[in-house]
Amino acid sequence: DERRERMSEATQKPEIYKGLVGVYADVSSISKVMPETNSLTYRGYAVQDLAENCSFEEVAYLLWEGELPTAAQLAAFREETASQREITPALHRVIREFPKDAHPMDSIRTAVSFMGLEDPETGDVSEAAQYRKAKRLFAKIPTAIGATYRAAKGLDPVAPNPAHSFAENVFNLVQGRVPEPEVLKAFDVSMILYAEHTFNASTYTARLVTSTGADMHGAITAGIAALKGPLHGGANEAVMHMLKEIGDPAVAKEWLQSRFDHRALVMGFGHRVYKSGDSRVPTMKKYAEKMAEVVGDRTWMEISRILAAEMLEKKNIHPNLDFPAGPAYHLMGFEIPLFTPLFVASRVTGWSAHVLEQQADNRLIRPLSWYTGKEQRPVPAMAAR
C-alpha cells in the first residue's frame, strides 16, 4: 500500500504555478509591495516619500546599506561613485565596433558583460568585492549608455564630470547638456521609482544567477537581458511608440477600440502584482505632467489621459510605471530606444542589493518541471528512423 501510495504521488500531476503566480520564492528585507493599498516601500520608506524628498544617490545608498545616509555618508558615497564613472579605452573601442543599428539594450548588456572581463575583482564573490563591483557598475553604466548612444550617431563620447549629480551626469553623457532643475528632478524621480520592486522577472533572474555562485557582472548582465522584454522593462519604449502611433488625442478612443477588437495588449497597462493601481504611477504622472508644462506640449499626456480612462472603464486595468515614464523620458529629450537602458541605470541598484541578499543566505534556485513529453522509448538505428 505504501508503495502504491508513493507511486501515485509520483504519477499524479502536482499543482503547477505557471508564471510562478502567487508563489513566495524567498524572504527579502529590501522592498515591500502592498497591492491591497497600492503601496511600495524601500527599506521601510514609502517610494513617493523618497521620490519627493531624496536624491537618487540617497536611495541607492539606502537600498544597499539599509539606512538613509547622513550628509557625510552621502558626500563620501557620491565622491566614491563619481570618481569611478570613466570606462576604459578598450571598452570605448569595443563600443565603436557595435553595429550602428544595435538596440541600446543589447549594447548595454554587452558593455556590462565586457566590464566583467576588465574588472579587477570579477571572480571574487566575497560580499565586500561584490558590493564594490555593484558601485562600479552603478557609476559606469551611464557612461556606457552615453558612449553607445553617441557612437551609433557618429558622435564622440562625452567625458563624465565627477562634480555632476547622477541625474546631471546622465543628461551630460547622453545629450551633452545639463537641463534645468525641474527636468533633473523629474528624471531623478524616475530613477528612484524604477530602482527596486521585489521579485520582478529581472531581479529574480539576477538572484537565480547568483544562487549558482556566479558573480555580479554575470547576474547584472542576465538581469539586463530579462529587462529588455516588452512584458517587463521594454514596455516604457513600447508605450511611447504607441502614443506616437496614435499621435492625436482625437483618435485615441478609436485606436484603443481597435486594440480591444484584436484582443491585443495595450502597453503600459496591467501588472502581475498590482491589480488596482501601481504605487509608483501617481508620482511619475505628476512629474510627466510637469515635463509637458516645461516643454509646452500636452499631446502625449492628453492621449495618455484618454487611454487610462478608457482602459479603466472598459477593462478595469490600471496603468503601470512605464505608462507615465515613457512620455516623461520623451519630453526630457531622450530617444525611445534609450528608455529601457535608463531603467537599467536605475535598477542596477535593486538588482545588486538582491544579489547581495541572495548570497548572504543562499540556496541554489532549482525548481521542478512536470514532464509531459514522450514515454521512454529505445533509440532506433539510423536506418530505421
Considering beta carbons, is residue 291 or 308 the nearer one to ligand ACO? 308
What is the per-residue binding string for ligand ACO in 322-361, x denoting contact by CB under 6 A?
x---------------------------------------
**Which member of 271, 318, 330, 354 is catalytic?**
271
Q: How far apart are CA 193 and CA 284, in angstroms?
A: 8
Considering beta carbons, is residue 21 or 163 the nearer one to ligand ACO? 21
Q: How far apart are CA 44 and CA 40, in angstroms?
A: 9
**Which member of 232, 318, 330, 354 is catalytic?**
232
Q: Does 309 bind ligand ACO (CB under 6 A)?
A: no
Q: Does 312 bind ligand ACO (CB under 6 A)?
A: no
Asked if residues 324 and 275 have their Cβ atoms less than 8 Å apart, the reply is: no
* Among the listed residues 33, 47, 134, 321, the single contact to ligand ACO using CB under 6 A: 321
Angle (CA) 36 63 199, round 5°: 50
> What backbone torsions phi and psi does residue 100 show, to the nearest 5 degrees?
-65, -25
As given in the structure block, the three cell numbers for residue 186 are 523629474
Binning the chain into helix, strand and coil, the percentages to the nearest 5 are 60, 5, 35
Q: How far apart are CA 269 and CA 308, in angstroms?
A: 8
297 is catalytic: no
* Among the listed residues 205, 221, 320, 340, the single contact to ligand ACO using CB under 6 A: 320
How many residues lie near ligand ACO (CB under 6 A)? 17
Q: How far apart are CA 285 and CA 81, in angstroms?
A: 30
Cβ burial 22-36 (10 Å sphere, 16+ → b, else e) = eeeeeebebbebebe
Task: Work out how close the CB of 233 gets to ligand ACO at its nearest, in angstroms, rounded to a whole number.
Answer: 5
Q: Does 265 bind ligand ACO (CB under 6 A)?
A: yes
**Which member of 119, 188, 215, 322 is catalytic?**
322
Task: Work out how close the CB of 232 gets to ligand ACO at its nearest, in angstroms, rounded to a whole number.
Answer: 4
Give the up-direction half-sphere exposure of residue 319: CA atoms within 13 A in the CB hemisphere.
22
Considering beta carbons, is residue 24 or 371 the nearer one to ligand ACO? 24
Q: Does 270 bind ligand ACO (CB under 6 A)?
A: yes
Considering beta carbons, is residue 207 or 271 the nearer one to ligand ACO? 271
**Among 347, 308, 350, 348, which Cα is nearest to 327's?**
308
Q: How far apart are CA 231 and CA 2, in angstroms?
A: 46
Query: In the complex, which residue's CB is closest to ligand ACO?
Result: 270
322 is catalytic: yes
* Among the listed residues 317, 333, 335, 336, the single contact to ligand ACO using CB under 6 A: 317
Considering beta carbons, is residue 289 or 322 the nearer one to ligand ACO? 322
232 is catalytic: yes
* Residues paired with 33 in a beta bridge: 40
At 24, which amino acid appears? Y
Asked if residues 54 and 46 have their Cβ atoms less than 8 Å apart, the reply is: no
Sheet holding 39-42, edge to edge: 31-34, 39-42, 45-46
Q: Does 20 bind ligand ACO (CB under 6 A)?
A: no
Exposed/middle/buried for residue 146 (C-beta within 10 Å: 0-12, 13-18, 19+)? buried
Considering beta carbons, is residue 173 or 284 the nearer one to ligand ACO? 284
Q: Does 268 bind ligand ACO (CB under 6 A)?
A: yes
Terminal CA-to-CA distance of the chain, rounded, Å?
41
Q: Does 76 bind ligand ACO (CB under 6 A)?
A: no
Q: Does 267 bind ligand ACO (CB under 6 A)?
A: yes
* Among the listed residues 103, 185, 272, 286, the single contact to ligand ACO using CB under 6 A: 272
What is the per-residue binding string for ligand ACO in 225-264, x denoting contact by CB under 6 A?
------xxx-x-----------------------------
Name the segment binding ligand ACO (CB under 6 A); options: 81-89, 114-122, 320-328, 348-356: 320-328
Could you list the active site residues? Answer: 232, 271, 322
User: Where along the sequence are the contacts to ligand ACO (CB under 6 A)?
Assistant: 19, 231-233, 235, 265-272, 317, 320-322
